[in-house]
Structure 1
Amino acid sequence: MLPILLLSAAGFSVLTTEFMIVGLIPGIAHDLNVSTPRVGLLVTLFALTVATFGPFLTAYFARFERKRLFVSILMLFGLSNLLAATASSLWILGIARLIPALGLPVFWALASETAVDIAGVEHAGRAMAKITFGIVCATVFGIPLSTLMADAWGWRSAFAVLAGLSIMKGLLLIQFLPKVPPLRAESSLIQQVKILRTPATLGHVLLSVLVFCGMFTAYTYLADILERLAGFSGQWVGWSLMAFGAVGLIGNTLGGKAVDRHPLIASMVFCFFLAGGMIALIPSIHSSFGLAVAMGVWGITQAALFLVSHVRVMKIAPQAPAFAASLNISGCNIGIGLGALVGGRVIDTAGLGSVSYVASGFILTAIFLAALLMLAPDNRLTPAQS
């Protein structure tokens, strides 16, 4: 299990790099003298870069020896975060965000494939739960601690610390990760692309787009909601985001068990409760108990859907799991980018308090799509796949 645990630890740095900006948006906007929605576009830039280049980069780099590849990606993340820490404008910060966006889909797709191959496809959910533990830790510790650091020492300190952690973990992989060759003979790009002809594959990726669009329409601006609507200080925002991520440990466990039984039903159930948590957020904003319950439900289901969405697509295309994973990563990041864009537009037109309601609309649409996939016999996951 050591290789999976090392990859999980590396995944913490990789995913923290993508998502920690959620807690830094208010500070960056103030320091660089730009609006909150403009800083939110950095989330869109990162996500759409992943979506555009992810599948092709993954298909190309899948032929490389894994240890060297993973170490190179972590060093790349370290240098890009160092650039972000010294950025003097939104443009330079955008470049610093663009660079790691090229490495994230390669790492995430191939690390996922490695874990599933080690555990076996019948235990894909449990294997992915170990890998996605790094993601959950990114939300439990990475995003909240970066928010607390930003409040105490400025947002640049968060990028600087993450740069050091990324480089340190790259060195640890050099020391302790054994050489891991490609775990199967990689098929040609043309053969991998053939899975796009399967309606079920496209349907499952579209489902991920909708789910993540809903998530990040609201989650991108959660720190702003807590600061401006709930009246929390920067320190309380950090602790609130940590609690939000901590309950995600529950969702990660529940998702890992549920997805091996029936991926689509798991998606629908978690989406239903996610929409409920989002809808309840604003009416409960001034009630400590109500806000805690709404954020708790949201945090548990969001963490579960990270894992469920990923395994769901890998299981629908077992003949090309790494390419399927990269397609799903692209779909998720299209959703993330669109969500940040939609959320910023909602703030400009209808106000910050409307964001969670619009987000829940996307989630409810995802439930409807999942029901359609279940009703179409050709699109169902067969018992052999699930």
Structure 2
Amino acid sequence: MLLPILLLSAAGFTVLTTEFVIVGLLPSIARDLGISVSQAGLLVTLFAFTVAAFGPFLTAYFARFERKRLFISILLMFGVANTLAALAPNIWVMSLARLIPALGLPVFWALASETAVDIVGPEYAGRAIAKIGFGIVCATVFGIPVGTLISDVFGWRTAFGILAVVAVLKALLLLVYLPSTKVKKDEVTLRSQFKILRNPVMQGHVLLSILVFSGMFTAYTYLADILERLAGFDGTLVGWCLMGFGAVGLLGNSLGGRAVDRHPLIASMVFCGLMITGMLALVPAIHSTLGLAAAMGIWGVTQAALFLVSHVRLMKAAPHAPAFAASLNIAGANLGIGLGAMVGGRVIDTLGLGSLGFAASGFILLSILLALWLMSAKPREVCA
């Protein structure tokens, strides 16, 4: 039972690295394509908004397909998209290269999560998805920073080229080792899945994901730029800092998996509160080695935890349609990512890099208040 989850985790590493590797490459891409960093940040917004707009519909539709073939097809699509990104001569081709994988990411992540829960049972959903989420954390531990280091030495195009090769290799691994799965005969209908959106509690859960991820990515989208311009680090040192940021996320992934199985909303509030501390402390501590390490450490742990907590929170809110609920979290999260990238770019242009932490913390504070409301509304069940 463990091998299929590990294979999906490895595939998830490639899928999520494709989405987030651009965070460490934004300064290089902006210079090479002759655009500003805030304009390059719109590539993050494009990817995120595409996921948000199409994710739930695509997931609900493709839930009827056999999982093995579906996952392999998605990875091959990622291979093509990353090849196109590596060859992109301008921002328009680059935008197309970001649009293609954005269509496959929500389908993979939602259905892989559902597959993991089917294997272990709903009572261990958090820990099972934590194993899938390990691939996501590894994307931040190794994928994003290694991509940044490769970009610094060989150029950002090489980073996307390597991702293309890795995606194809992962598809071959799934072809050989992932067992075929039966499609459920009693699959929830498309209409009944969308019906859960009428419930105000479910709407609140989706909004909570939007706020949490808006806060995260208002600042995180431009973390490489913060470290370059405010701390004065070169590309190599930025890569190592991002690796450290992701490495502490291993702890956050573990803590989040355990906490969310006990109480999803309390877990959300605790990690959000700690994240505000890390974000606000970053710039004041930017020239202190220990201070910067502590601020990035707190931020890194809580960010990884909230990725997992948000995902499981939505799945637990609609146990009769977990894949669709997961897709709603992915849509809400990516809407937040896109909004955060836009807000962060605007803050940089008007108030400067040093104000990103305050803008990001505003979103996170609102998410804590919303979580408190959802706790009071908890007795109202989400119905099919």
Aligned to 2:38: 37
Aligned to 1:139: 140
> 2 CA distance for matches of 1:343 and 1:227?
16
TM-score norm. by structure 2 comes to: 0.98
Structure 1 residue 197: Cα displacement: 1.6
Aligned to 1:363: 364
Does residue 323 in structure 1 map to residue 324 in structure 2? yes
**Cα deviation code 1:191-215 (max 9, x no counterpart):** 1111112211111110000000000
CA contact (8 A) 1:199 1:379 kept: no
Q: 1:1-386 maps to which residues of 2 (within 5 A)?
A: 1-183=2-184, 185-379=186-380
Structure 1 residue 377: Cα displacement: 4.3
Gaps of 5+ in 1: 382-386
CA contact (8 A) 2:201 2:377 kept: no
> 1 CA distance for matches of 2:282 and 2:136?
23
Structure 1 residue 318: Cα displacement: 0.5
Secondary structure of the 2:26 match is: helix
Structure 1 residue 375: Cα displacement: 2.1
CA contact (8 A) 1:3 1:177 kept: yes
> 1 CA distance for matches of 2:286 and 2:127?
35
The verdict on how the C-alpha distance between 1:379 and 1:37 changes in structure 2, with shifts beyond 3 A counting, is: farther
What is the root-mean-square deviation of aligned Cα atoms in Å? 1.2
CA contact (8 A) 1:136 1:252 kept: yes
CA contact (8 A) 2:51 2:105 kept: yes
Structure 1 residue 183: Cα displacement: 4.5
The verdict on how the C-alpha distance between 1:377 and 1:32 changes in structure 2, with shifts beyond 3 A counting, is: closer
> 2 CA distance for matches of 1:236 and 1:168?
29
**Cα deviation code 1:36-64 (max 9, x no counterpart):** 01100000000000000001100111100
Structure 1 residue 185: Cα displacement: 2.3
> 1 CA distance for matches of 2:155 and 2:378?
54
CA contact (8 A) 1:114 1:183 kept: no
> 2 CA distance for matches of 1:190 and 1:335?
26
> 2 CA distance for matches of 1:266 and 1:184?
35
Structure 1 residue 374: Cα displacement: 1.0
CA contact (8 A) 1:23 1:144 kept: yes
Question: What amino acid is the match of 1:262?
Answer: H
CA contact (8 A) 1:58 1:110 kept: yes
> 2 CA distance for matches of 1:34 and 1:196?
39
Secondary structure of the 1:378 match is: coil
CA contact (8 A) 2:81 2:100 kept: yes
Structure 1 residue 380: Cα displacement: 7.7
> 2 CA distance for matches of 1:181 and 1:80?
29
CA contact (8 A) 2:29 2:40 kept: yes
- Sequence identity of aligned pairs in percent? 70
Question: What amino acid is the match of 1:340?
Answer: A
**Cα deviation code 1:266-312 (max 9, x no counterpart):** 00000000011001001001111000000000000000000000000
Secondary structure of the 1:140 match is: helix
Secondary structure of the 2:308 match is: helix
CA contact (8 A) 2:344 2:356 kept: yes
CA contact (8 A) 1:64 1:181 kept: no
Secondary structure of the 2:181 match is: coil
> 1 CA distance for matches of 2:7 and 2:79?
17
CA contact (8 A) 1:74 1:170 kept: yes
Question: What amino acid is the match of 1:313?
Answer: L
**Cα deviation code 1:151-206 (max 9, x no counterpart):** 00000000000000000000110011110122562121111111112211111110
Secondary structure of the 1:294 match is: helix
> 2 CA distance for matches of 1:184 and 1:243?
45
The verdict on how the C-alpha distance between 1:2 and 1:35 changes in structure 2, with shifts beyond 3 A counting, is: same
Question: What amino acid is the match of 1:274?
Answer: M
Paired residue total:
382
CA contact (8 A) 1:117 1:183 kept: no
